[in-house]
């Protein structure tokens, strides 16, 4: 049995860096180098308990438990933005500034506590500024100081400040393409290759990534898609207990690194083989009707909704506030898009769940 293909299979080729990946490598990069490199697997896996050491429980929470916050991003008094160089930190800072946040870029981690003191002092003089949220961009540009981030976060928590940690990630291939497009060296590259610097940074950020509250894979997102996703995360419904991203994607472009749940829609007939539907997308009525009319489509929606209802309850009990559900087909244009929209509409109707939809590979062919 062979899988069916979207029309993108007939015209493979790299995406245009100018309109595809998030092109902020120029502002994220720095010419200096420091030792170290990260994982190839999905994010936030330490939360599932698989990385917890055996042994008796102690009174003081573990480093990972102390660092992870159950506060909503849009309610957090302080958000630490970090991640891979070139993965979109500058875009994130711009989005937060547009939303009215105070953003401090490239802050040495040791100054987190001082920043908290300054914020408290400002609130004492100007109580009306209580709604002013603060974000700090911390990354390997601070070189050896960056290695003190773990202790700085713990110190901030000991003082009653509960920072949330947002980690931006991307594949090596996407990062190489972005750095090459702006002709800047990686901050950890030194005298070696660009890929050497990326791998050093991955290793350096491995533990931090696994303990982050939210991890966003920007590999297939352009600036506008990333901005929309960030805006949804930071302006959610305050009544919701869980923010859920439903993302369509094409398997030919790779699995989303930040996916918590993955559904494969390639068991349905492909609209690509219907001539009048081929140029359309899953957001167009005729394609959506075609996909939902296929045998098994409605049953899939019913069963996936039932499964996710059960998982949502568990996520809330475990303190997870952000979940990504990925829905894939071959090229990310027809079946996955129509199904993601339909599933997102169902989940958004659930109490305590705030959903938004991202079509990662739509328009990429």
Shared domain for 62 and 189, answered yes or no, is yes
DSSP 276-313: TTTTS-TTSHHHHHHHHTSTTHHHHHHHHHHHHHHHHH
**pTM of this structure:** 0.59
For residues 71 and 190, state if they share a domain: yes
The residue among 233, 240, 246, 258 whose CA lies nearest residue 92 is: 233
Same structural domain, 116 and 167: yes
Q: Are residues 288 and 339 in the same domain?
A: yes
Is 90 flagged in the annotation as binding?
yes
Q: Which domain holds residue 211?
A: 21-219
Judgement on whether residues 198 and 182 belong to the same structural domain of the protein: yes
Per-residue pLDDT of the chain (365 residues; tens, 9 = 90+): 434 434 333 333 333 333 344 444 434 433 333 333 333 333 333 333 333 333 333 333 334 444 455 556 767 778 999 999 999 999 999 999 888 888 998 888 878 877 777 777 776 677 665 556 889 998 887 666 777 787 888 777 777 677 889 999 999 999 999 988 888 888 888 888 889 999 999 998 888 888 888 899 999 888 888 888 888 888 765 566 788 999 999 999 999 988 999 999 999 999 999 999 999 999 999 999 999 999 999 999 999 999 999 999 898 888 788 899 999 999 999 999 999 999 999 998 888 888 999 999 998 87
- Together in a domain, 3 and 37: no
Regarding whether 363 and 251 lie in a shared domain, the answer is: yes
Give the end of a domain, one of 185, 219, 253. 219
Residues 12 and 56 in one domain: no
d(CA 262, CA 255): 9
Question: 305 and 166, same structural domain?
Answer: no
Q: Is 202 annotated as a binding residue?
A: no
**The CATH number of the domain where 96 resides is what?**
3.40.50
User: Is residue 235 situated within a structural domain?
Assistant: no
Q: Confirm whether residue 232 is marked as ligand binding.
A: no
Q: Is 86 annotated as a binding residue?
A: yes
Q: End-to-end CA distance of the chain, in Å?
A: 25
88 annotated to a ligand binding site: yes
Q: How many structural domains does the chain have?
A: 2
- Is 212 part of a structural domain of the chain? yes
Q: Answer whether 337's CB lies under 8 Å from 355's CB.
A: no
Residue 84 marked as a ligand binder: yes
> Does 250 count as an annotated binding residue?
no
How many residues are recorded in the chain?
A: 365
């Amino acid at each position: 049995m062979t899988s069916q293909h979207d029309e993108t299979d007939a015209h493979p080729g790299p995406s245009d860096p100018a309109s595809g990946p998030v092109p902020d490598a120029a502002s994220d990069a720095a010419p200096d180098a420091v030792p170290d490199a990260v994982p190839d697997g999905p994010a936030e896996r330490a939360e599932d308990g698989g990385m917890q050491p055996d042994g008796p429980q102690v009174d003081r929470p573990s480093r990972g438990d102390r660092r992870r916050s159950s506060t909503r991003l849009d309610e957090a008094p302080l958000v630490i933005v970090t991640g891979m160089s070139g993965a979109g930190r500058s875009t994130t800072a711009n989005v937060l500034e547009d939303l009215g946040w105070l953003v401090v870029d490239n802050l040495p981690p040791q100054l987190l506590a001082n920043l908290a003191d300054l914020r408290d002092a400002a609130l004492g003089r100007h109580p009306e500024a209580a709604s002013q949220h603060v974000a700090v961009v911390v990354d390997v540009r601070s070189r050896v100081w960056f290695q003190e981030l773990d202790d700085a976060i713990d110190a901030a928590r000991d003082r009653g400040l509960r920072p949330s940690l947002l980690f931006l990630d991307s594949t090596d291939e996407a990062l190489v393409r972005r750095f090459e497009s702006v002709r800047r060296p990686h901050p950890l590259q030194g005298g070696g290759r660009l890929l050497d610097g990326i791998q050093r940074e991955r290793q350096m950020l491995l533990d931090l990534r696994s303990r982050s509250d939210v991890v966003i894979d920007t590999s297939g997102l352009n600036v506008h898609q990333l901005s929309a996703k960030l805006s949804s995360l930071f302006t959610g419904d305050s009544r919701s207990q869980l923010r859920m991203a439903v993302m369509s994607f094409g398997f030919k472009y790779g699995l989303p690194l930040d996916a918590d749940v993955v559904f494969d829609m390639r068991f349905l007939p492909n609209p690509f083989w219907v001539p009048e539907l081929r140029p359309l997308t899953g957001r167009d009525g005729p394609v959506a009707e075609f996909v939902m009319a296929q045998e098994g489509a409605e049953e899939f929606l019913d069963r996936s909704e039932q499964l996710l209802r059960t998982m949502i309850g568990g996520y809330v009990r475990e303190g997870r506030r952000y979940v990504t559900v990925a829905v894939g087909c071959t090229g990310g244009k027809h079946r996955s898009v129509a199904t993601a929209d339909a599933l997102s509409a169902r989940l958004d109707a659930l109490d305590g769940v705030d959903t938004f939809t991202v079509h990662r590979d739509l328009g990429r062919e």
